[in-house]
């Protein structure tokens, strides 16, 4: 029997994140500067109203799950962990999500004469309220506004959508400073859109392609639970 309470809580969280992403996408589509100002700061109240309005939908989902609908790859007892389509993407037991950020930016490729080399990420991470909390850059690395840093080493990559960059599980190799990335052990990049290298060859060596993408990033810490 699935953990119905956990699945319902996860569904509520997914609804909140879906709305937050729409706000971020709309905001960044209409400006060249991502500043996470007041428009997204009011998201919490909007999300709360939406979740209340959808209680009946959550109840219906609970009933369906009780009838035996199965999930993809089970995230264990961590209600904040994402469901993934391949068990290789699941973070080992003994770790739980401590931060979930929505990333939006570009994957940067450089034509080397025979292929598009890279990619190198350049993105901004938003929290559940739509505020800017971190940047994502080469390494791959993530640095929070407070100065904490984590560098990850890819362990496995799985192509879920052929039109998007793979979902990835990474192990933290370096962590620095206090803040949201302190003591990070594992990272997942999931729910990707876009970001793939151009299909056509470059016109000259050194040509750069900046390909827009989005993804959800989950950061884990070791736990005794």
Q: Which residues of the chain have pLDDT under 70?
A: 1-77, 225
Helix (H, G, I), strand (E, B) or coil at 179: coil
Residue 27 has a pLDDT of 52
3-state DSSP call for residue 132?
strand
Structure-token match 């151009």, residue found: 198
Q: What is the pLDDT of residue 78?
A: 76
How many Å apart are CA 93 and CA 143, to the nearest integer? Answer: 25
Q: Nearest Cα to 149, choosing from 173, 129, 120?
A: 173
pTM over 0.85: no
Whole-angstrom Cα distance, residue 121 to residue 192? Answer: 13
- What letters, b where the CB count within 10 A reaches 16 and e where it falls short, cover 129-167? bbbbbbbbeebbbbbbeeebbbbbeeeeeeeeeeebbbb
Q: What is the pLDDT of residue 224?
A: 78
Burial of 61 (0-12, 13-18, 19+ CB in 10 A): middle
């Amino acid at each position: 029997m699935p953990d119905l309470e956990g699945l319902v809580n996860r569904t509520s969280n997914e609804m909140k994140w879906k709305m937050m992403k729409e706000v971020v996408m709309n905001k960044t589509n209409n400006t060249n500067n991502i500043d996470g100002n007041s428009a997204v700061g009011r998201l919490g109240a909007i999300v709360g109203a939406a979740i209340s309005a959808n209680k009946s939908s959550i109840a219906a989902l609970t009933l369906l799950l009780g009838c035996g609908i199965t999930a993809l790859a089970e995230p264990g007892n961590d209600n904040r962990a994402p469901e993934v389509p391949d068990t290789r993407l699941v973070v080992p037991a003994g770790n739980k999500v401590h931060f979930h950020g929505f990333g939006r930016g570009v994957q940067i490729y450089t034509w080397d004469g025979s292929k598009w080399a890279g990619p190198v990420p350049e993105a901004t991470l938003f929290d559940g309220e739509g505020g800017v909390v971190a940047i994502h850059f080469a390494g791959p690395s993530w640095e929070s506004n407070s100065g904490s840093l984590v560098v990850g080493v890819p362990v496995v990559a799985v192509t879920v959508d052929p039109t998007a960059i793979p979902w990835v599980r990474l192990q933290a190799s370096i962590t620095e400073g206090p803040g949201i990335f302190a003591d990070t052990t594992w990272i997942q990049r999931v729910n990707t859109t876009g970001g793939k290298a151009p299909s056509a060859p470059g016109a000259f060596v050194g040509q750069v392609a900046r390909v827009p993408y989005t993804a959800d990033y989950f950061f884990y810490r070791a736990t005794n639970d």
